[in-house]
Amino acid sequence: MLNGNKGFFYRYGGHLLFLLVTAVLLFGWRVSQARGGDEDVVRVETAVPPALPNATDESIPQPVEISILSDNSLAPAPIPHTFQGEQPNISYQTYLVQRGDTPTGIAEAFGIAPETILGGNPRLSEESSLLQTDTEIVILPVDGVLHDVRPGDTVESVAALYGASVDDIIAYEPNNLEFPYRLYPDTQIIVPGGVRQLFVWTPPDLTSVNRGTSGIGGGVSPVVVGTGTYIFPVVSRIFTQYYWYGHPAIDVALPLGSAVYASDTGTVTFAGWNTYGYGYLVVVNHGNGDETFYAHLSQIYVRPGQIVYQGDVIAGTGSTGNSSGPHIHFEIRRQNDRLNPCWYIGC
């Protein structure tokens, strides 16, 4: 009996081993398929037992190739395309400046805040009275700022620049901002609630006494101290613009060439053409930290370094520089802070 069993294994042992290996590989294939792997061809050779007595070629298992599935579920996903959002779709009105227009008057006509006139027109941030007749300005649909996107701009940096809310910028639908809220250079967005900072021109430094200079100013130090009180610089009381954020001065309309008076005693430190929109300008330093500015003049009767006394005629009114009609633009500055003249001269 034992000899019979021994003869059976000698004769069919190779076949049994082949069937066992096949069963193991088939089981592995089913597990891999359940995991969703990709198919790879792997060469698997079955074990070949040593030659046995009375064995024939047909009874010896031969090497076989079996196609199994390998698990590639942890392989990296394909690189996605770079995100490209929609471009902003900003729309606004334009307005042609008429004679006598002011930012406050235009803003009231369109139902927006005066600061929004500055927000839509960067050039006016130098000085809101820089409105010239027949120039076209932008009228925004909401209060805020029209921003030209530059390389490197982000929603956060733009919001910080104008003191606005990130959420408000994103929520404004025409900006077409969607996550991850990218901004695209050479486009424009509206910053709701934002306020553009004003540019403030300052006269040349006063470094040395230079009386009698025929130039426009610079290097002139004050040589007298004013009274500390101020008089109205013109005889008219027709106000075309009062003091506000975008216009820290007063504008008073009156005929071309009307007399302009020194509001207080002081030294002329600037007298000539100003390239920042003031036109012909006179600046008087009062020697106590205060200065007065008289702008858009048609004529100038003083020179840098000259002492003027309260009530002296120093110029004639005009409409030079960026102006929409004859008027005097009058400022009082204290240590370079622009004060409301109405507090000192009455309006």
Q: Could you write out the DSSP letters of every residue in 56-122?
A: -GGGS---EEEEEEE--TTSPPPPPPPP--PPP----EEEEPPTT--HHHHHHHHTS-HHHHHHH-G
223 within 8 A of 307, measured Cβ to Cβ: yes
When mean pLDDT is compared across 82-86, 195-199, 240-244, 278-282, the lowest value belongs to: 82-86
Q: Which pLDDT score, from 0 to 100, does residue 68 have?
A: 42
Residue 50 has pLDDT above 70, yes or no: no
Q: Which pLDDT score, from 0 to 100, does residue 279 have?
A: 92
Cross-strand partners of 325 = none
Are 99 and 54 contained in the same domain? no
- Max mean pLDDT range (6-15, 199-208, 295-304): 295-304
Residue 172: inside a domain: yes
Residue 38 has pLDDT above 80, yes or no: no
CATH of the domain at 246: 2.70.70.10
Total-model pTM: 0.63
Q: Which pLDDT score, from 0 to 100, does residue 29 have?
A: 57
Residue 108 has pLDDT above 60, yes or no: yes
Residue 9: inside a domain: yes
The total number of structural domains that make up the chain: 3
Residue 21 has pLDDT above 70, yes or no: no
Helix (H) or strand (E) holding 136: strand 136-139
167 within 8 A of 156, measured Cβ to Cβ: no
Q: Which pLDDT score, from 0 to 100, does residue 128 have?
A: 53
Are 339 and 247 contained in the same domain? yes
Are 106 and 160 contained in the same domain? yes
Cross-strand partners of 191 = 145
The mean per-residue pLDDT over the stretch 184-203 comes to 91
Using the Cα atoms of residue 268, residue 272, residue 274 and residue 275 in order, give the sign of their dihedral: negative
Residue 44: inside a domain: yes
Query: Considering only CA atoms, which of 290, 289, 272 is closest in space to residue 281?
Result: 272
Cross-strand partners of 247 = 244
Q: Which pLDDT score, from 0 to 100, does residue 76 have?
A: 44
Average pLDDT, the chain: 81
Greater model confidence, 207 or 184: 184
Q: What does the alpha-carbon distance between residue 54 and residue 52 come to, in Å, rounded to a whole number?
A: 6
Residue that terminates a domain, selected from 129, 163, 192 = 192
Are 152 and 188 contained in the same domain? yes
Residue that terminates a domain, selected from 70, 103, 118 = 70
Q: Which pLDDT score, from 0 to 100, does residue 47 have?
A: 45
Per-residue CA distances from 280 to 11, 17, 25, 190, 302 (Å): 120, 109, 97, 35, 12
Residue 201: inside a domain: no
In terms of residue numbers, what domain contains 186? 93-192
CATH of the domain at 130: 3.10.350.10
Are 37 and 107 contained in the same domain? no
